[in-house]
Amino acid sequence: MGLFAFGAFGQAAYSDAQMRALIAEDYTRMGNLHHRYEVPTIYNTPAPRGYKPFYISHYGRHGCRYQNSLSVYDNAVIPVLDSLGNAGLLTPLGRELLADIKSIRNAHEGMEGMLTQRGAKTHRGISGRMLGRFKPVFRQRDAQRVRCASTPVPRCIMSMSNFLIPIQRAYENMEISMDTGERYRDYLVHPNENGPHAEQGFEMAFDSFAGAVDARAMAARFLVGGDCGLSAEFFYYVMYSLDISQCLDGEFADMRKYFSDEDIYAFYWANDIRAYNVLGRSLENGGYRPDLIGKALLKDIVAKADEAASGGEVCADLRFGHDSGLAPLMFFIRAEGFDMDISSKDAPLRWPAFRYMPMASNVQFVFYRNRDGNVLVKMLFNEVETGIPALEAVSGVYYEWSALREYFMGLLD
């Protein structure tokens, strides 16, 4: 049973049994936004006769990274466990837990927020598959330029650089430009992205986790005699500090060594509530981010697509940013799986973030043209063909660019 066994993007809902099976199949999916990219089964619906791809518009989230801050280790978790260990209150399993957390923390030294080699490899893979699927795009005589932009965050710049390696190797004469700076942050993610609901997601996650786990039973695994007042919130941070290890280079900590299947599922559930509340068009946040970020990014996509469709020399626009740029765009255009307004509390069975917004998640708009100059577009999300439920395709997964553009401009207006 693979990640995509339950249908295409946009499935109305999963049952609790289905979601439990997905988490049991690969428990690292509990990490949601921390989840490493899972390569899908690649399938290309043939384009209508006479149409060939000529332009790609791409936005990719950075790949696997280190934690942005050591605060969760140095302030929330390690001091507490160190104090209990010094008092002789940790069980053998508790001492192993502390050692694992310290090992993960030490791997972060001097690397907070940076791209890992695992993340770099993922972007090279996505780029290589793109080249294999859409060779005509990069073999045009009059369009031999790839234009790239990144937010001024090192992990995004490194993601961009790694994405370009396969292109540079395959097409030595391709003209490639790379830009970054605050100017690009303005539309790739927006400097005021956090907004008034930044802390609400964590609060909802803590409440969900506390209501689903037995903190005293969890403490009993790691402590000698009593729970020492450790709360469910503390164990949420413990799991959060371990979970990022799936993004690091080499082997990662096995959460099942320390926590039960029920604990892991509870963490998935709480984590997904937070992810949807922060990124999505939730009833609690009023669609803050989609409206703020999605609009600016879509304007850029339309403007550069118009340029390419009118005979421009750019064959691909590649953008690199964050989940807080990609998810709002997808919610703004109401793509499959992003076309609902729901409570964050309903998200775990409607919008599993490990599937929709893992590390290196991405969207590609692939433009096709025939000899008459008519332009079609198909959309790939995480390399899987997807669509927009509100708009009718003219053939399979292919939309008339004129109709898709009209739809986009309606959203912008």
Domain architecture of the chain: domains with CATH: 16-66+115-196+287-412 (3.40.50.1240), 71-111+199-278 (no CATH)
Q: How far apart are CA 227 and CA 305, in angstroms?
A: 59
pTM above 0.85, yes or no: yes
pLDDT computed for residue 104 by the predictor: 96
Residue 351, token pair as written in the block: 């919008």
250 Ramachandran zone, left/alpha/beta (phi>0; psi -120 to 50): left
Q: How far apart, in Å, are the Cα atoms of 223 and each of 82, 162, 169, 322, 350?
A: 12, 45, 55, 39, 37
**Strand, coil or helix: 204:** helix
Res 265: pLDDT: 98
**Bridging pattern class, strands 399-400 and 375-381:** antiparallel
DSSP character for 319? E
Q: Mind listing the pLDDT tens digit of every residue in the chain (413 residues)?
A: 344 444 466 667 899 999 999 999 999 999 999 999 999 999 999 999 999 999 999 999 999 999 999 999 999 999 999 999 999 999 999 999 999 999 999 999 999 999 999 999 999 999 999 999 999 999 999 999 999 999 999 999 999 999 999 999 999 999 999 999 999 998 998 766 555 566 777 889 999 999 999 999 999 999 998 778 899 999 999 999 999 999 999 877 899 999 999 999 999 999 999 999 988 888 887 776 777 788 999 999 999 999 999 999 999 999 999 999 999 999 999 999 999 899 999 999 999 999 999 999 999 999 999 999 999 999 999 999 999 999 999 999 999 999 999 999 999 98
Residues 6+ apart with CB under 8 A from 369: 51, 52, 54, 309, 375, 376
Angle at 388 between CA 382 and CA 394, to 5 degrees: 110
- Tell me how far apart the alpha carbons of residues 305 and 315 are, in angstroms, rounded to a whole number: 10
